[in-house]
Amino acid sequence: MNSASTETRTMVSSTDSALSRRIDDALLHEYESAIAASTRMRHAIAFSYGRSALWSTLSALHLKPGREVVLSPLTCEVVPLVLLGLGLRPVYADIDPNTLNLGAETAKRALTPATGAILFQHTYGISAGVREVRALARSAGLPLIEDCAQCLPVAHGPAPPGQDGGVVIYSNNLRKPLPAGGGGLAVTNDGALADEIRCLRDKLPAESLGSRLRLRAEVWLHRHVLRPSRYWLLYGLSRRYLAGQRHPSITIAIAAQIEAVARKPSAFRVRQGLAWVARMSSVAAHGHRCVEDYARSLQSSPELLIPAAADESVLYYFPVRVRRKDELLHRARERKIELIAWPLRTPIFPLEHAADAADLGYETGMCPQADRMASELVGLPTELEITSDHRQAIVALVRDAAEP
């Protein structure tokens, strides 16, 4: 092969690579613009995972190691892992049992001169209580981060996420309200902060070939295999996988669960996001029907209901309180009826042992209401596969278990 031919091929390859990058950038811009529009916010920055969006947001806020972040213990373990990975200290404040969310009064009591930010999770998609916590953050001069990993990325209700400032974090993994092939988002109205978050995202490496292939396999399984009747089979496999993934130290857990997955989103992930954004209205409408149906069907059993849940139009799951949670879940497994045990045995999901929670700074008894919810809270599913017949069977099971 002569040198001219080799040079020509190199130029063509370089041109193709540049064109591919431009196409990927255009896709990414289209996706981020669509999310910004649906959430009625100015800026959206996409990541491969929601935890990476949280990491970059906290980094962009320039919180120094040793600063404290006030949050609810009713959360996912990756949240305190992010904080600890940045040298920040999670400070847990109790929830309001009527909303499942961080209480403004308990958050206020948790503030110290070392507090650097407040993190408010919209548990199960419930927004109740966020206005009071926003006011607290504003009066204390603290940044507020709204954890909307359990929310559909759309502005709705009387207090849409992020409308009064701060940053909102969304997660779109395959078991979230918008199962857009994984991925996460940081959304904000602050242009300067958005630029800094985007700059941090752009410095991340691309997703590996193995990660991209795994995502495609997961999307296929979600589309063709995951059904309500198979929920408990897949749940059992997931529990065994999670048990096998427990790490011997917090340092190793941070490296494996936070640092190793910090990547820019792949083109496939972004295309999945765009496809699901196009279905956003139908997803929201179905979720609304599920919430209305559950609330109406269970109104004669007020001891089961979380008062704030019935006021939301779209929820991740519809929450109920049950006295014999383990027994109910056992019955659901026997009858192949999907029910969600979130959290499991400690407020921090998916931890089941107090020692594991203690590694993340949470001790049993710190937040009595959150501890109680860990033993009583069950979620009724709202995903697209849940039909009216499914909901009737779920309600009948929950009612039956509630009887003395």
Name which of 120-124, 208-212, 388-392 the model is least confident about.
208-212
Which is nearest to 54 in space by CA: 121, 131, 138, 140?
A: 121
Tokens representing 232? Answer: 């408990």
Cα–Cα dist 183/173, whole Å: 6
> What's the mean pLDDT in 170-177?
88
H/E element, 358: helix 354-359
> What's the mean pLDDT in 251-276?
94
Pick the CATH number of 280-402 from 3.40.50.1100, 3.40.50.300, 3.90.1640.10, 3.90.1150.10: 3.90.1150.10
Tokens representing 123? Answer: 């548990």
Q: What digits encode the pLDDT tens for the residues 118-142?
A: 999 999 999 999 999 999 999 999 9
Which is nearest to 152 in space by CA: 401, 384, 325?
A: 384
3-202: CATH topology: Aspartate Aminotransferase; domain 2 (3.40.640)
What is the predicted pLDDT for the residue at 183? 87
What is the predicted pLDDT for the residue at 400? 87
DSSP for 89-155, please give it. Answer: EEEE-PBPTTTSSB-HHHHHHH--TTEEEEEEE-GGG--TTHHHHHHHHHHHT--EEEEETTS-SS-
> What's the mean pLDDT in 358-374?
97
Spatial contact of 121 and 102, defined as CB atoms under 8 Å apart? yes
Our CA angle for 224, 226, 231, nearest 5°, is: 160
Using a pLDDT cut of 70, give the percent of the chain over it: 92
Cα–Cα dist 191/204, whole Å: 20
Please enumerate in sequence order all residues whose Cβ is within 8 A of that of 37, keeping only pairs 6 or more positions apart, or say none: none
Q: What digits encode the pLDDT tens for the residues 1-59?
A: 555 555 555 544 454 455 456 658 899 999 999 999 999 999 999 999 999 999 999 99
Cα–Cα dist 288/166, whole Å: 27
DSSP for 83-107, please give it. Answer: HHHTT-EEEE-PBPTTTSSB-HHHH
Burial bucket for residue 85 (CB in 10 Å: 0-12, 13-18, 19+): buried
Please enumerate in sequence order all residues whose Cβ is within 8 A of that of 297, keeping only pairs 6 or more positions apart, or say none: 391, 392, 395
Cα–Cα dist 372/212, whole Å: 40
Between residues 182 and 7, the one the model is more confident about: 182
For all residues of the chain together, what is the average pLDDT?
A: 91
Spatial contact of 348 and 299, defined as CB atoms under 8 Å apart? no
Spatial contact of 350 and 392, defined as CB atoms under 8 Å apart? no
What is the predicted pLDDT for the residue at 238? 78
DSSP helix/strand/coil, 253:
helix
What is the predicted pLDDT for the residue at 173? 84
> What's the mean pLDDT in 102-117?
98
Please check the confidence at residue 306 and state whether its pLDDT lies above 70.
yes
CA distances from 195 to 172, 199, 204 (A): 22, 6, 15
What is the predicted pLDDT for the residue at 22? 64
Residue 28 backbone phi and psi in degrees, to 5: -60, -45
What is the predicted pLDDT for the residue at 14? 54
Tell how strand 184-188 and strand 43-47 pair up.
antiparallel
Cα–Cα dist 264/167, whole Å: 19
Sorted by where each begins, the domain ranges of the chain are 3-202, 280-402
Please check the confidence at residue 223 and state whether its pLDDT lies above 70.
yes
Using a pLDDT cut of 90, give the percent of the chain over it: 75
Q: What's at 206, amino acid-wise?
A: A
> What's the mean pLDDT in 375-397?
96
- Please tell me the pTM assigned to this model: 0.91
Q: What's at 55, amino acid-wise?
A: W
What is the predicted pLDDT for the residue at 4? 55
What is the predicted pLDDT for the residue at 164? 75
Please check the confidence at residue 110 and state whether its pLDDT lies above 60.
yes
